[in-house]
Structure 1
């Protein structure tokens, strides 16, 4: 039995000898590498906090003491030490262990955040709650990375903690000099001076009125425990500065200067070996290429546009490579700005650049734009600033779970006056939309695309007022208009095929630019008996709702059906499986459309199709 197998909870840690603790750190790192490289997930951040997590659970008594983690992607070790080590084979798998803290999994998981810079505010509020209740025997611990200190909300929390010198909160600063990428800005420079011992005088934390302890070696268990015990006895807010190494203990990660194995993809399954005497397998069918990765298509096209457009600048929030800006940055370093984990600053800074005559391209994950909605609305759109937002990981992202699904953007976009939004369906339309977006000079634009590969290009059979017609019914058949939003084109075409097999006339149109709703789309919808919209955004207030409202405002009596993602926080799982569970399949769309047309004189066709396309059938 390995040492990690003997740890069923934090209480088992406190009786371990130094040699057993060393064995435990080895076991944990071995388990991390073995399982995370198999399932995919955040490896580098977790390798770097092994000793720190052990020390926290030996000094503090979770769950009575509340240990909270900023961002949450570095909590795999915390999960192992709180009784979940045996569950790691199911990490990030449907129905299995979440890749982030999960209150449903364990009482030791206090919060479920995966957006950075929030934990100090959580800790401030929780400590206030205990003070109001007269509770003085529970510690509140907030673990935050140096990268998250580039986010303004972290300083809002620290500012409020500093105003309450008797509020006992331990802020553990996990300083590994990077978030996804190396930490940027004046904070990074100050922490570097503290690490090296070159800084003279009080730290910035002490100047704010907080106690400061450190720096301490974050891989020295004895030193960590001594420091944490000292900090917890100070009776007020204190910052404990721990120096750790991202990717620690795994040589490939330690040598990786790009992101220290921040996140790894699942390891391909080994091929099964044939049994002795078995006949050789038949040759495999040719594999149709899935197409390039959406991010790579954007990356290459933006770099090419940057060559032709000297006014283009690119902005990211600590995610240069994941959002596809690396190639642009290599070609145009002076026109590329990484502002750290500060989406709000990124957007308002872009507005300033636009006022100065540049055209900024702000590249973010769709889920992180939520944090900068006010800036998009009032700092960009109100000023009609020509800023282009490029949102990666839009729609359902899958295995990262509820907080990473980019299923809110199309709903939020409906609220922004003057914003034009494109949803490309494939690589070709992404290139086209990006060129069109950066050509707009009288207001903001946005384009969004999902995680993964683009699939093959889907050509249009016709165009209508700037919209792409992907399938056109016979001139006399005006049964159904299917409106495809972005990557839903393939599903819409499958639904059209199923309906056409049973005699229904179906036209499939991809507006490409979906916000505001094109006038031509409304006119086309009024010529049909039913309009159905399909998107991978939340159903509430999305593109489908906007199209239905536009039809109603035009006086149309055409009924509509909207297909999208259920308006709830979705459990982690594969994108494909979540789309199926959400009813976003050609089979289900065809069935619902048939039921919606059931009042017409097509009873025979309707009953036949409904019988053959039962509810809940897979694709």
Structure 2
């Protein structure tokens, strides 16, 4: 049985990969590691000498001859052992000068490469040599990202995550609304903030373009750090910078931030450092599927003491939320925003400071209270319009702050027949759970009315991939479906929600 592991040149820079390499080298496991180096992270090591030495050193005849000579010399007493040791020392120092991959060799992992990863014969030869070698082996295969597709080779960053595109030209087939994406709004806003505050430092974990930090890097290259796929280090670096008087902004995808949960607790929150987390791709992200849906951030962020959370409903509030997060200097703060385009025109005005822990009433209503965060505020407004057709008055609140919650607004909502929470995240421990906690505590204290509740969001399961609009319907979170669920609850019909 042969174990073969494939890892990319960017991923191998992560801490977990180094932990595994350290362990593999220690236990000397028979394993083949293929390092796919498409030159997006690791510098290419080339040269006829290195290719020759790598092939000769790990071929079966060389290994047998080397072991045979060393065994015979070792039986020749002190002189023989001296020659073996001297040879090993010379061989090691010489290889470090001319042969790539000695980092892996020093960890106890044999190295083959670099080889042309597009040359099938070279790959087969390397795999054959690795299989004949005792212990772990790393094959360094150099490849070209997007090989065979000219426009993908020219723009590998654009074609890393691919949407619909014209196969002839490579140009994306736009389904845009004409409005900028949330990421673009954040990108421009951060550059604007950076113009007036020299302490702002932008940090990303190998997602410079994806998080919209390219513009900040271009404008302030000395205030930008890309740490590679090392989210734990990104957060700890931010904590250190904050301790030194800087104002770090960590721009990161929701699904990747969870890798740095411990660092957020120990290095940021426990020290009460002013670090701003700008969490992109919060909520459903579509075709990337369950590994990339940003559905857990509200849960794990709510659990961290001193952490505050803002979930803006549109682009204007995103700009205000960023300005607020940079201004409030009493500890860590996170703002989350989804993938996709904004739904309202951007207002031409200066950023406004959002009152901490304060919600906004969007619509009056006495029968039902809809408490929503993020882009679910728009859904809640549509739901209220549908309910109004049946004579049901629904109040709509843009809660905005997930932590701290606006408890006065929640108490106000409890005077209606039904309190409904809407969030684009898992409901177990999320925003809706927070509202229920407030209602339960206040009810026990005799400070609020007993009312029925309905927590709507994502179920306790991993959500599959697919178009976001279709996923919303599958999860029964479209406006007509939510309206029907509410009517069923008001009519006393059983619901699993």
Which TM bucket (shorter chain)?
0.7 to 0.9
Q: Does the 8 A contact of 1:254 with 1:260 survive in 2? A: no
Matched, 1:239 2:101: no
Matches within 5 A, 1:68-147: 138-147=1-10
Matched, 1:472 2:472: no
Closer, same or farther in 2 for the Cα pair 1:464/1:503, shift >3 Å? farther
In 2, Cα distance between the equivalents of 1:358 and 1:522? Answer: 36
| Alignment match, 2:81 | none
| Alignment match, 1:174 | 36
Q: 1:159 aligns with which of 10, 18, 22?
A: 22
Q: Look up the SS of the partner of 1:163 in the other structure.
A: helix
Matched, 1:397 2:285: yes
In 2, Cα distance between the equivalents of 1:268 and 1:220? Answer: 29
Closer, same or farther in 2 for the Cα pair 1:221/1:150, shift >3 Å? same
Q: Does the 8 A contact of 1:465 with 1:520 survive in 2? A: no
| Alignment match, 2:382 | 494
In 2, Cα distance between the equivalents of 1:169 and 1:503? Answer: 68
| Alignment match, 1:126 | none
Q: 1:334 aligns with which of 222, 228, 232?
A: 222
Q: 1:409 aligns with which of 286, 297, 305?
A: 297
- Shift in Å at residue 253 of structure 1? 2.5
Closer, same or farther in 2 for the Cα pair 1:397/1:437, shift >3 Å? same
Closer, same or farther in 2 for the Cα pair 1:399/1:289, shift >3 Å? closer
Q: Look up the SS of the partner of 2:464 in the other structure.
A: coil
In 2, Cα distance between the equivalents of 1:313 and 1:503? Answer: 52
Matched, 1:418 2:306: yes
- Shift in Å at residue 294 of structure 1? 0.8
Deviations 1:330-379 (A, max 9, x none): 00011000000001110111111110111111111111111111111221
Matched, 1:584 2:480: no
Deviations 1:181-213 (A, max 9, x none): xx2xxxx46x64889959436701111111111
| Alignment match, 1:60 | none
| Alignment match, 1:224 | 123
Q: 1:568 aligns with which of 442, 461, 475?
A: 461
- Shift in Å at residue 493 of structure 1? 0.9
Q: Does the 8 A contact of 1:141 with 1:169 survive in 2? A: yes
In 2, Cα distance between the equivalents of 1:306 and 1:196? Answer: 48
Q: Does the 8 A contact of 1:147 with 1:177 survive in 2? A: no
| Alignment match, 1:130 | none
Matches within 5 A, 1:135-534: 138-165=1-28, 167-178=29-40, 183=41, 188=42, 192=45, 199-200=97-98, 203-256=102-155, 259=157, 261-267=159-165, 289-457=177-345, 466-473=358-365, 478-534=366-422
Q: Look up the SS of the partner of 2:291 in the other structure.
A: coil
- Shift in Å at residue 454 of structure 1? 1.1
Q: Look up the SS of the partner of 1:209 in the other structure.
A: coil
- Number of aligned residue pairs: give it: 432
In 2, Cα distance between the equivalents of 1:288 and 1:373? Answer: 34
Q: Does the 8 A contact of 2:361 with 2:397 survive in 1? A: yes
| Alignment match, 2:489 | 596
In 1, Cα distance between the equivalents of 2:167 and 2:401? Answer: 40
Q: Does the 8 A contact of 1:360 with 1:387 survive in 2? A: yes
| Alignment match, 2:71 | none
Closer, same or farther in 2 for the Cα pair 1:210/1:592, shift >3 Å? same
In 1, Cα distance between the equivalents of 2:356 and 2:328? Answer: 21
In 2, Cα distance between the equivalents of 1:264 and 1:396? Answer: 17
In 2, Cα distance between the equivalents of 1:507 and 1:392? Answer: 29
Larger of the two Rg values belongs to structure: 2
Q: Does the 8 A contact of 1:193 with 1:199 survive in 2? A: no
Deviations 1:395-453 (A, max 9, x none): 11111111111111111112111111111111111111111011121111111111111
Q: Does the 8 A contact of 1:480 with 1:506 survive in 2? A: yes
Q: Look up the SS of the partner of 1:470 in the other structure.
A: strand
Q: 1:552 aligns with which of 431, 436, 440?
A: 440
- Shift in Å at residue 486 of structure 1? 0.6
Deviations 1:508-537 (A, max 9, x none): 010211212122222222332221011110
In 2, Cα distance between the equivalents of 1:543 and 1:417? Answer: 16
- Shift in Å at residue 260 of structure 1? 6.7
| TM-score, scaled to structure 2 | 0.82
Deviations 1:529-563 (A, max 9, x none): 22101111012111011111111111132221111
Closer, same or farther in 2 for the Cα pair 1:225/1:337, shift >3 Å? same
| Runs (5+) with no aligned partner, structure 2 | 51-95, 169-174, 348-354
Q: Does the 8 A contact of 2:34 with 2:141 survive in 1? A: yes
